[in-house]
Amino acid sequence: MSQTKVALVTGANRGIGLAIAKGLAKQNYHVLMGCRDINAAEKLVDKTDGKITPVTLDLSDADAIATCLNDIDQQYPKIDVLVNNAGVLEREELDQLSPEQLQQSMQVNALAPFALMQFFAPKMAKNRFGRIVNVSSGWGATSGMLEGPVAYAISKSSLNVMTQIIAKQYRKYLKVNAMCPGWVRTRMGGMAATRSPEKGAETAIWLAGLSNDGPTGEFFRDKKQIAW
């Protein structure tokens, strides 16, 4: 019998992240639900299908991330799938954007995912298997970044570049890709959005399960490659 794969999903206590966690659990992954408030997350577990375990993961600063990752690594030394889903959206225009808001966007949307990839990618490579999925946005693409909120576009475009760099570095054993979920009905997207969280999660779940001959270092929407 093959060993159950372990997937760590950040921001998994609501919205797209919760839909990704539930979808992976249905595919028999053991899902680690990364979130800041583990007590609130534990209340969601009984409502989900499959095996999901909440774990504390505070993406707010580098020291907090390091502590959380070491704790996770001690409990789960073999992570097969990492989904960097957690994100923040600052809507201020350029002349109203504060340095603190830009820093927060960069920290959660780009620097934290980089820290997680830097931590787990070498371990995955040592195990000769790994899948990393970065939940990005069309506003982070070259063709769309001038249309989106400033801090969000800057941070998501940074995440896109990181995706390509990590994919090249670990091309032999890892599949590292970014995806755009579209406009999704979440706290960030609002209730007027055209897609459900489950629809927004589909491509991330697909990328998490790529075969060894699957793509790496690419950007997807609706399971189709799109331009960086």
DSSP character for 107?
I
170 is catalytic: no
Residue 24: name the closest of 198, 217, 215 by CA. Answer: 198
Q: At CB < 8 A and 24+ separation, what contacts does 91-95 make?
A: 91/149, 91/152, 92/149, 92/150, 92/151, 93/149, 93/150, 94/150
Q: Of 29, 76, 152, 173, which residue is the catalytic one?
A: 152
What SS3 state is found at 177? strand
Distance (Å, whole) CA 192 – CA 48 = 25
> How far is it, in rounded angstroms, from Cα 102 to Cα 124?
31
Given the DSSP bridges, would you call strands 130-135 and 81-84 parallel, antiparallel or unpaired? parallel
Which residues are designated catalytic?
A: 152
